[in-house]
Amino acid sequence: MIICKSANEIHLMQKAGAVVAEVLLQLEKNLKPGIQTAFLDRIAENIITRRNALPAFKGYIGKLSSKPFPASICVSVNEEVVHGIPGKRLIKDGDLVSIDVGVRINGFFSDAARSYKIGNVSKRIDELYSATLDALNLSIDKCFIGNRVSDISHAIESRAVKDNFSVVKVFVGHGIGKKMHEDPQILNYGPPGQGPLLKKGMVLAIEPMLNIGTSSVEVLDDCWTVVTSDRECSCHFEDTIAITENGPLILTRIENL
């Protein structure tokens, strides 16, 4: 069931989204070759708790794992698509680093992800980064009352295909609110004009995931980290969007603090 939110509920989600944005901004300032991904997790958790919020991912039990997620953020590097566990891995020049942050405040969640190019990346990684960011922005442009969920999906896939990238099919965007994952599911592929109508008050976490090579992915032995099956690079962006009478309202932006 799709749950539409009131104006006040959307405002609460903006507050959570602003903390997400603040975390991502501070992590970007600290991203450089030689740091461990666990260091980023400590920074994130300090900011989240200082804002009297809760890290949404820590302790989360997903559909693919009975093991609670052990960190406050996901840090996925290069061939890691999503759900990378922060640890001793060192960031290196040429890496593409995806950071996913979820926050809960006053009973409501917001969720966003950014990818970052570290130093001098290859031309193909640079193209992947640009295509994935474009896919996010183009999909947000479809978030108007009266459009359908698959219009978002089609915008993502169309941008990926344009530069010969594949889209991850087994992980999807989603509704969000009092739960981290709500209806509807938002595929990163498919024809336009299908699925539920977009209505005022719907809040969606849209998250294109594009790969240089195959769309196929697998889960590592830690039961969380998802990697491309061919170990080619992947890129991930995400924002939380409210559907309003005036069009899409991006909740995961720093100006909402």
Domain map (residue ranges) of the chain: 7-256
Of 116, 150, 156, which Cα lies nearest the Cα of 136? 156
Q: How far apart are CA 63 and CA 13, in angstroms?
A: 24
Of 181, 227, 188, which Cα lies nearest the Cα of 203? 181
Which parts of the chain sit beneath pLDDT 50? none
- Amino acid identity for residue 88 in this structure: K
Contacts of 168 (CB under 8 A, 6+ apart): 81, 188, 209, 210, 211, 215, 217, 234
**ω into 192 cis (within 30 of 0):** no
Q: How big is the chain by its Cα radius of gyration, in Å?
A: 17
Of 155, 103, 104, 165, which Cα lies nearest the Cα of 129? 165
- The percent of the chain in helix, strand and coil, each rounded to the nearest 5, is 30, 30, 45
pLDDT at 215: 98
pLDDT at 257: 53
pLDDT at 255: 64
pLDDT at 149: 99
Q: Domain 7-256 belongs to what topology? A: Creatine Amidinohydrolase (3.90.230)
Q: What pairing do the DSSP bridges indicate for beta strands 203-206 and 108-117?
A: unpaired
Which pair of tokens denotes residue 163?
């530069």
On the 0-12 / 13-18 / 19+ scale of CB atoms within 10 A, 23 is: buried
- Amino acid identity for residue 170 in this structure: V
208 in Cβ contact with 132 (< 8 Å): yes
Matching residue, tokens 């809760």:
54
pLDDT at 256: 52
